[in-house]
A and B are shown apart, each in its own frame.
Chain A
Amino acid sequence: MPTAAPDAPLTSTTIEGAIDHLRATYPEAVRADDREGYGGIIVDSAQLLDIARFIRDDLGFDYLSSATAVDYLGAGDHMEMVYHAYRSRGGGALVFKAQAEREQPEIPSLVSVWRGADFQEREAWDLYGIHFPGHPNLTRILMWEGFHGHPMRKDWREAYYEEEQKPFDSRWPGGHVHRAEEKNVFGKNVSYPREIDLSRLMDTSESAVYQSLGLGVDVERVMDKDGFETNELVVNMGPHHPSTHGVFRMVLTVDGETVTSLEPVMGYLHRNHEKIGERNTYLHNIPFTDRLDYISSMGNNHGYVLAVEHLLSLGRRYNEPTYRCETLRVMMVELSRIVNHLWAIGFWLNDIGAFFTPVLYFIQERERIMDFFEAVAGSRMMCNYMRFGGLFADLPERIKSVSNLVNDRARDYNTMQFLTEMVSERIPRTIDELEQLLTQNEILIERSVGVGVLSAADAINYSAAGPLLRGSGVPYDIRRADPYSIYDELDFDVAVEDAGDMYARYLVRVKELRESVRILRQILPRLEATQGESIWADGKPGAYAPRVPLGEAYGRVENGKGELGYYIVSAGGKSGTANPWRYHVRAPSFINLTPMGIMSQGHKVADIVGILGSIDIVLGETDR
């Protein structure tokens, strides 16, 4: 309970001021996190709920960006939930943590404070086995119900487990090749608990999905508004469905054609990004981040290198990335954003009925941007372009292909000319075409205006991010709210629309496309001006196994889909580590699905795919 009534109006708006205020109010329950390299506060989990409300209402941190668990096995032996709360007006994070015993951990659920914690707490239950009393539906979210164990715990080992950390000793110098399945008892990357009883084996994963949603029976008699008896039906969509943007699944309850409730079911592309990421070295993770939001790999790289650079900056020898490096990063990220939004709008139109024609128009420009990425970074989609304190390589002078296969036809363009033409002519022209095709199209307007409305208050409370948040009238763009890289010196506007419906999100994306072009126009002269400058902070390529100082870091960027955050903990060593202890991805596609249920209520089944398309998810990031 508060000991000092916080009657006085909050004078200090800084994070430190907020923390002081909090400590003054709850002196026993709040202590500073004084571990080396850590920040924020540790909160007594008995009072977590009260303090969270205080943080939200009195301190104004109304936006819970990320909530994630860390398993400190052997380094304190406790489970920890880490929360990053922000003010929707902008500014830095208030990081607060709650700790629990490793065996039977229990931390009160914050869903009643921030609805956005819903899926994230379910994930922490699924992967870490942390119990959240007060959570409305604490079931597994990424793995299936009935799976043995909580795989992200440090003492849980997968079937192909080799060593705690990469590089594995078996690869060199005595690297006799074998396939992992040749050594595994059951061959298929599986292992079973000792007490497995095959005679009583039942696949309960499906029934558990329906039961956890409170759908014990599939058909339910209800009375409609005219007093007729109707049946309420449960309809399953996905994971194989052409409009779920991959392997996503939704379970709807429909009354006639009208959706009464919707529950997202995911995990069909859960490929253990975080578990693998904790075995990896810091450098190993960069190409893995490419495969998160595989439409905009450059943005994924950026968030991750920012987080690790933040940790590196805690060490003694650290140089800021050069200006040219930052410029190139921003250029690549903005090009990715254009690709992302073109893709998002195109496939959203697919979902609402304009099958493939718009997509084909938009893919044309994407192909050229892909050509550029391929020439600069080496791959069309999986760019793996950014490094800690630098980049893979500077721009080549010419985008030139070399023939080496039969029937190869070579191309040769000047890079800057190619870019200039793209930025000044082709991309703006495509955006104009897009607007001509769609913005005033009556069919599109009828289909999308007033559909899938998310109010501003809900958008913040549900931790929505990106165009979903800005389409609801919250002008929150991390590039402005918490600037990173060189965004603070670039001139651009935050796209925002008030209506909160599908059409508003479409308009936000179109505006952002134009703002990206505007940013790129400012980038090109900067590139010319920094010609010849090194792309490496230290003047030479970084080491292949950098040792990262102890501490924690949260790097976040505004990606095409929304706020992409990386929470990285370097722990377990004495002077620094080569592998992250905790590597967590705050995936916008994942958290943006939290409000999917309330957005869909009362709409027709045909609108559901449109609403999903307007959120713009990528399953690689949703399920990780």
Chain B
Amino acid sequence: MDLNLQELNATEFPVPAELESNIAITSLSQLYNWGRRNSMWPMLFGLACCAIEMIATASSRFDFSRFGFEVMRATPRQADLMIVSGTVTKKMVVPIVRLYNQMPEPKYVLAMGACASGGGPFKEGYNVVSGMDKYLPVDVYVPGCPPTPQALLYGMIALQRKIDGQSIANGDDVPWYGVGSAEPTPVPVLGPDIIDPRQMDMIRRQAERAANDMAALGMRELPAAMQMVAAKAPTATAAPVEAAPVDGNALAFVLPAGGRPWEEAEDIREKRRLRALARKAVRASRRASAEEE
């Protein structure tokens, strides 16, 4: 490892002036990353078609143990990496979130294939989740339907590169060293349709709005069959959704006039980032008060 001391000292981690030359923290990160990236055990967990290619990747011809993805563990408690290999259905996302919560940190999620990344060809289906990242933080997306073993290996190497770039000093990268215990991801509820507990407020708001203006919000109701056919009632896609309070990320693509971007309200990563920033602020203020004293 060749280290540029000057560069490394420019980390955001607060290094007291008298210790500027001490770069122990950064090099520890590298050591730590080296250990983590080379002993990444995936969970033995297959969802759909992609799982077969994942097995092919694990078998002799491509053999991902060469990279330290040594053995696949059937229990989440011994796994570091969840390869979401296939279509995530609403019925299955509940166990997946539970499994994720059972994994010890540090944990990573790799979305393998189009379905796990963004819904895939089955996205339009009523029982399909449009991407694993709607429920869990995903680290690497591997496109393809299915990705060939080599494409998956590329994604795994990409994950290793991502780990290489992480720093223990940065709460964004390694939130599991934060203060207090990590919150488990809330498990979705299977009601009349799947319900994300984090969305509860928004659903409530929409339900209230629905009381006033139902059709414009695309609330599905099941009137008499023939009426439905005859009337061709406007649906969610037909009528542009009125601007509802959005606190999600901005969209990367231009939308047609009239439509408003509607990302889901909460994003785990965003929350984590905010938490990390808050922690940082607390630390900074503590330091400041200590210096004053």
Question: Which A residues lie at the B interface, using CB under 8 A?
Answer: 73-74, 77, 102-103, 142-144, 146-149, 151, 153-162, 174, 176-194, 196, 198, 201-203, 205, 239-242, 246-247, 267-273, 275-276, 279, 287-288, 291, 294-295, 359-360, 363-364, 366-367, 370, 380-382, 619-620, 623
Q: Which of A179, A185, A201 contacts B236 (CB 8 A)?
A: A185
Give every chain B residue within 8 A of A370 (Cβ-Cβ): 56
Q: Is there a chain A Cβ closer than 8 Å to B60's Cβ?
A: yes
Q: Is there a chain A Cβ closer than 8 Å to B46's Cβ?
A: yes
Interface bits B125-168 vs A (CB < 8 Å: 1, else 0): 11111100010000000000110100000000000000000000
Do the beta carbons of A186 and B49 come within 8 Å of each other?
Answer: no
Interface bits B205-237 vs A (CB < 8 Å: 1, else 0): 011001000100111111011101100000111
Give residues of chain B (88-145) contacting chain A, Cβ–Cβ below 8 Å: 89-92, 95-96, 99, 115, 118-119, 121-130, 134, 145
Do the beta carbons of B192 and A192 come within 8 Å of each other?
Answer: yes
A-B contact pairs, 30 of them (CB 8 A): A147-B190, A159-B126, A176-B255, A182-B255, A182-B263, A183-B236, A186-B199, A186-B206, A187-B199, A188-B134, A189-B123, A189-B128, A191-B193, A191-B236, A193-B221, A198-B203, A201-B189, A240-B45, A240-B99, A246-B46, A247-B48, A271-B115, A271-B122, A271-B128, A272-B125, A291-B49, A294-B49, A363-B59, A364-B61, A620-B48
Do the beta carbons of B214 and A194 come within 8 Å of each other?
Answer: yes
Do the beta carbons of A272 and B61 come within 8 Å of each other?
Answer: no
Do the beta carbons of A268 and B118 come within 8 Å of each other?
Answer: no
Give every chain B residue within 8 A of A287 (Cβ-Cβ): 121
Interface size class of B (residues with CB under 8 A): 35 or more
Report Cα–Cα, A262/B280, bound state, in Å: 54
5 more CB-based (< 8 A) A-B contacts, given A187-B199, A291-B48? A178-B255, A185-B236, A193-B221, A194-B219, A272-B125
Give every chain A residue within 8 A of B203 (Cβ-Cβ): 186, 192, 196, 198
Do the beta carbons of B89 and A270 come within 8 Å of each other?
Answer: yes
Q: Is there a chain A Cβ closer than 8 Å to B70's Cβ?
A: no
Report Cα–Cα, A27/B240, bound state, in Å: 56
B115 nearest CB neighbor, chain A only: A271
Do the beta carbons of A203 and B191 come within 8 Å of each other?
Answer: yes
Report Cα–Cα, A620/B128, bound state, in Å: 13
Q: Which of A205, A239, A273, A294 contacts B190 (CB 8 A)?
A: A205
Give every chain A residue within 8 A of B200 (Cβ-Cβ): 198
Check A189/B130 contact, CB under 8 A, given A196-B207, A294-B52. Answer: yes
Do the beta carbons of A182 and B60 come within 8 Å of each other?
Answer: no
Do the beta carbons of B236 and A159 come within 8 Å of each other?
Answer: yes
Q: Is there a chain A Cβ closer than 8 Å to B14's Cβ?
A: no
Interface bits B171-200 vs A (CB < 8 Å: 1, else 0): 000000000000000000111111110011
In order of increasing CB-CB distance, the 7 nearest A-B pairs are: A272-B125, A148-B192, A158-B126, A294-B49, A271-B122, A176-B256, A187-B264
Do the beta carbons of A181 and B262 come within 8 Å of each other?
Answer: yes
Give every chain A residue within 8 A of B130 (Cβ-Cβ): 179-181, 188-189
Give every chain A residue within 8 A of B206 (Cβ-Cβ): 185-186
The minimal Cβ–Cβ distance linking B212 to chain A, given in whole angstroms, is 12
Do the beta carbons of B259 and A178 come within 8 Å of each other?
Answer: yes
Do the beta carbons of B126 and A272 come within 8 Å of each other?
Answer: yes
The minimal Cβ–Cβ distance linking B287 to chain A, given in whole angstroms, is 40
Do the beta carbons of A242 and B44 come within 8 Å of each other?
Answer: yes
User: Which residue of B89, B219, B235, B256 has the most chain A CB atoms within 10 A of its CB atom?
Assistant: B89
Q: Is there a chain A Cβ closer than 8 Å to B26's Cβ?
A: no
The minimal Cβ–Cβ distance linking A292 to chain B, given in whole angstroms, is 10
Interface bits B243-282 vs A (CB < 8 Å: 1, else 0): 0100000010111100101111000000000000000000
Q: Is there a chain A Cβ closer than 8 Å to B33's Cβ?
A: no
Report Cα–Cα, A444/B119, bound state, in Å: 41
Do the beta carbons of A176 and B61 come within 8 Å of each other?
Answer: no
Do the beta carbons of B129 and A185 come within 8 Å of each other?
Answer: no
Q: Is there a chain A Cβ closer than 8 Å to B25's Cβ?
A: no
Give every chain B residue within 8 A of A74 (Cβ-Cβ): 226, 229
Report Cα–Cα, A200/B191, bound state, in Å: 10
Report Cα–Cα, A73/B225, bound state, in Å: 8
Do the beta carbons of B127 and A194 come within 8 Å of each other?
Answer: no
Do the beta carbons of B122 and A276 come within 8 Å of each other?
Answer: yes
Interface bits B32-56 vs A (CB < 8 Å: 1, else 0): 0000000000001111110111011
A184 nearest CB neighbor, chain B only: B236
Do the beta carbons of B192 and A185 come within 8 Å of each other?
Answer: no
Report Cα–Cα, A230/B233, bound state, in Å: 60
Give every chain A residue within 8 A of B241 (Cβ-Cβ): 183, 185
Q: Is there a chain A Cβ closer than 8 Å to B202's Cβ?
A: yes
Give every chain A residue within 8 A of B202 (Cβ-Cβ): 186
Do the beta carbons of A147 and B193 come within 8 Å of each other?
Answer: yes
Report Cα–Cα, A183/B210, bound state, in Å: 16
Give every chain A residue within 8 A of B47 (Cβ-Cβ): 246-247, 269
Give every chain B residue within 8 A of A143 (Cβ-Cβ): 91, 127
Do the beta carbons of B262 and A176 come within 8 Å of each other?
Answer: no
The minimal Cβ–Cβ distance linking A135 to chain B, given in whole angstroms, is 22
Check A184/B262 contact, CB under 8 A, given A247-B92, A271-B122. Answer: yes
Q: Which of A154, A242, A295 contacts B52 (CB 8 A)?
A: A295
Report Cα–Cα, A268/B46, bound state, in Å: 12
Do the beta carbons of B196 and A363 come within 8 Å of each other?
Answer: no
Q: Is there a chain A Cβ closer than 8 Å to B66's Cβ?
A: no
Report Cα–Cα, A183/B99, bound state, in Å: 30
Give every chain A residue within 8 A of B119 (Cβ-Cβ): 180, 189
User: Which residue of A146, A188, A194 has the most chain B CB atoms within 10 A of its CB atom?
Assistant: A188
The minimal Cβ–Cβ distance linking A297 to chain B, given in whole angstroms, is 9
Do the beta carbons of B256 and A178 come within 8 Å of each other?
Answer: yes
The minimal Cβ–Cβ distance linking A426 to chain B, given in whole angstroms, is 15
The minimal Cβ–Cβ distance linking A571 to chain B, given in whole angstroms, is 15
Report Cα–Cα, A202/B191, bound state, in Å: 7
Report Cα–Cα, A180/B244, bound state, in Å: 17
Give every chain B residue within 8 A of A189 (Cβ-Cβ): 90, 119, 123, 126, 128-130
Report Cα–Cα, A183/B253, bound state, in Å: 13
Give every chain B residue within 8 A of A271 (Cβ-Cβ): 48, 87, 89, 115, 122, 125, 127-128
Do the beta carbons of B219 and A192 come within 8 Å of each other?
Answer: yes
A181 nearest CB neighbor, chain B only: B130
Q: Which of A198, A294, A363 contacts B48 (CB 8 A)?
A: A294
Give every chain A residue within 8 A of B207 (Cβ-Cβ): 192, 196, 198
Do the beta carbons of B92 and A269 come within 8 Å of each other?
Answer: yes
Report Cα–Cα, A269/B51, bound state, in Å: 12
The minimal Cβ–Cβ distance linking A481 to chain B, given in whole angstroms, is 30
The minimal Cβ–Cβ distance linking A61 to chain B, given in whole angstroms, is 33
Give every chain B residue within 8 A of A161 (Cβ-Cβ): 235-237
Give every chain B residue within 8 A of A148 (Cβ-Cβ): 192-193, 220
B240 nearest CB neighbor, chain A only: A183
User: Which residue of B48, B95, B126 has the most chain A CB atoms within 10 A of its CB atom?
Assistant: B126
Q: Is there a chain A Cβ closer than 8 Å to B74's Cβ?
A: yes
Give every chain B residue within 8 A of A291 (Cβ-Cβ): 48-49, 121-122
Q: Which of B115, B124, B251 contacts A182 (CB 8 A)?
A: B251
Give every chain B residue within 8 A of A158 (Cβ-Cβ): 124-126
Check A246/B217 contact, CB under 8 A, given A148-B192, A270-B91. Answer: no
Report Cα–Cα, A157/B218, bound state, in Å: 11
Q: Which of A146, A153, A364 contacts B191 (CB 8 A)?
A: A146
Give every chain A residue within 8 A of B128 (Cβ-Cβ): 189, 271-272
Check A192/B220 contact, CB under 8 A, given A187-B264, A269-B86. Answer: yes
Q: Which of A156, A178, A192 contacts B222 (CB 8 A)?
A: A156
Give every chain A residue within 8 A of B90 (Cβ-Cβ): 189-190
A161 nearest CB neighbor, chain B only: B235
Do the beta carbons of A188 and B48 come within 8 Å of each other?
Answer: no
Give every chain B residue within 8 A of A295 (Cβ-Cβ): 52
Do the beta carbons of B56 and A276 come within 8 Å of each other?
Answer: no
The minimal Cβ–Cβ distance linking A517 to chain B, given in whole angstroms, is 22
B45 nearest CB neighbor, chain A only: A240
User: Which residue of A198, A366, A382 has the most chain B CB atoms within 10 A of its CB atom?
Assistant: A198
Do the beta carbons of A179 and B125 come within 8 Å of each other?
Answer: no
Give every chain B residue within 8 A of A159 (Cβ-Cβ): 126, 193, 218, 220, 236
User: Which residue of B51, B193, B202, B204 has the most chain A CB atoms within 10 A of its CB atom?
Assistant: B193
